[in-house]
Amino acid sequence: MKVYLDNAATTPLDPQVFEAMLPVLKDGFGNPSSTHAVGRKIKSLIERSRKNIAKHLNCAPGEIFFTSGGTEADNMAIQCAVNDLGVKHIITSCIEHHAVGHTVEKLKRDGLVELSYVHLDEKGHVDLQHLEQLLSVHPKTLVTLMHANNEIGNLLPLQHVSEICEQYGAIFHSDTVQTMAHYRFDMNVLDQVHFLACSAHKFHGPKGIGFLYVNKKNQINPIIHGGAQERNMRGGTENVYGIVGLSKAMDVAFEGIEAHQEYMIAIKEYMISRLNESILDVSYNADSANMSKSLYTILSVSLPPTEIASMLLFNMDILGIACSGGSACTSGANIGSHVLTGIEAPMDRPTIRFSFSRYTTIQEIDHTVNSLVSLYT
Ligand SMILES: Cc1ncc(COP(=O)(O)O)c(C=O)c1O
């Protein structure tokens, strides 16, 4: 049996998304910037997709800028905030994705910003009191905090944080790569959020396409030059079949979102109960097993120390199970997970991250838990 439980890394393409992309791949070769009919037809696909995505998020189509994915969207938000919105100080956490972490570190190295790391509580959640303390002494701040952590699943109270940022006049960007199309986003309600990042391949869309939501209150300039695409905001011929696939993937995700959520919550709860009854001394990193404070697609399992710790993932792979993992690293060492280190996960306990999709089955969970148990006996 082959089992894929690495959906936080990427998800398989939904067949309906494939069907939607196929005609564009086959015949939609026109350049959307061409003014002739062949080009105009393709351009209309882009604009139709943008409108459709905006409808899902209850925002204006002009607030959606297509990018090559989550990494570019995060880079764009952060760099534009510094280049164009007068940001001199950035508040972030030590457990952000590298698309955020490395970008803010580079800006600091270049002397463009001061950088502060907000404290995390014992469950790995952002300490909101500390966030307020930092905001109260630093004007012209960008706060960049992810909605759900891709390794442990901890969720940020997005609206509450956006309100805090608004109170202190700060710009707020959230990396929503793991949560977009897994939860509903109403940008009319979340109107204090300035930027959100999205990547299609995290919800059964194609790779290499995503977008940055930019609240219309922000006037920003491009970071990629060389063309007038995306209303002069991002040079480069558009990834049209990707854009069409992204739009369709959102349709499919939102069409059945309540049922998908309910299904995956049941899958995650089932895995927790199977692990609890099968492995003595199993535990969960940060708040990963707390269903109300973690993303329902991610379970970060902390396993008892074992001599075969470094071989666990390899052995799971041999048994046909795709999952991912890691361990905390000692200070100064470059290996290991900065997230597990950031939440001070015990170094002697191996971690496996299982991440689910609407295609995951109970049988696959059973097979996975049984296989893990076999490696421990
Ligand atoms: C939280 C988070 N941010 C950003 C990214 C990067 O997205 P992309 O692969 O589309 O560049 C990922 C992908 O793993 C992610 O999990």
Which CATH number belongs to the domain containing residue 83 in this structure? 3.40.640.10
For residue 336, pLDDT beyond 90: no
Summarised one tens digit per residue, pLDDT across range 85-126 is: 999 999 999 999 999 999 999 999 999 999 999 999 999 999
Question: What pTM did the predictor assign?
Answer: 0.97
The protein residue with its alpha carbon nearest to ligand 1, atom 4, reads: 70
Whether the CB of 146 sits within 6 Å of ligand 1: yes
Question: What is the domain count for the chain?
Answer: 2
Calculate how far, in angstroms, residue 199's C-alpha sits from the geometric centre of ligand 1: 7
The protein residue with its alpha carbon nearest to ligand 1, atom 5, reads: 70
Best probe residue, ligand 1, of 98, 158, 178, 211 (max atoms within 8 Å of C-beta): 178
Strand ranges of the sheet holding 298-302, from the earlier edge strand across to the other edge: 283-284, 298-302, 351-355, 324-326
Q: Are residues 248 and 337 in the same domain?
A: no
Whether the CB of 7 sits within 6 Å of ligand 1: no
Which CATH number belongs to the domain containing residue 349 in this structure? 3.90.1150.10
Q: Which residue did the predictor score with more confidence, 119 or 333?
A: 119
Strand ranges of the sheet holding 195-199, from the earlier edge strand across to the other edge: 64-67, 210-214, 195-199, 171-175, 141-144, 89-92, 114-117
Calculate how far, in angstroms, residue 258's C-alpha sits from the geometric centre of ligand 1: 24
- Which helix (H) or strand (E) is 56 found in, with range? helix 37-57
Q: Are residues 66 and 162 in the same domain?
A: yes
Which atom of ligand 1 lies at the shortest distance from residue 207's CA? 10
Q: Are residues 167 and 87 in the same domain?
A: yes
Q: Are residues 272 and 372 in the same domain?
A: yes
For residue 333, pLDDT beyond 60: no
Q: Which residue did the predictor score with more confidence, 279 or 328?
A: 279
One-letter amino acid for residue 47 of the chain: E
- What pLDDT band is residue 334 in, cutting at 50, 70 and 90? low
Summarised one tens digit per residue, pLDDT across range 194-228 is: 999 999 999 999 999 999 999 999 999 999 999 99
Summarised one tens digit per residue, pLDDT across range 290-322 is: 999 999 999 999 999 999 988 999 999 999 999
Q: Are residues 211 and 352 in the same domain?
A: no
* Domain region containing 288: 3-11+256-376
Q: Are residues 211 and 63 in the same domain?
A: yes
Residue 165 falls in the annotated catalytic set: no
Please, are residues 241 and 25 in contact by the beta-carbon 8 Å criterion?
yes
Q: Are residues 167 and 251 in the same domain?
A: yes
Q: Are residues 168 and 76 in the same domain?
A: yes
Specify the pLDDT at position 310.
Answer: 87
Average pLDDT over residues 230-238: 96
Average pLDDT over residues 54-60: 98
End of a domain among 255, 285, 301?
A: 255
Q: Are residues 38 and 53 in the same domain?
A: yes
Q: What is the mean pLDDT of the chain?
A: 96
Whether the CB of 210 sits within 6 Å of ligand 1: yes
Q: Are residues 23 and 155 in the same domain?
A: yes
For residue 349, pLDDT beyond 90: yes
Q: Are residues 203 and 304 in the same domain?
A: no
Q: Are residues 102 and 232 in the same domain?
A: yes
End of a domain among 255, 275, 295?
A: 255
Best probe residue, ligand 1, of 97, 152, 154 (max atoms within 8 Å of C-beta): 97
Average pLDDT over residues 270-285: 97
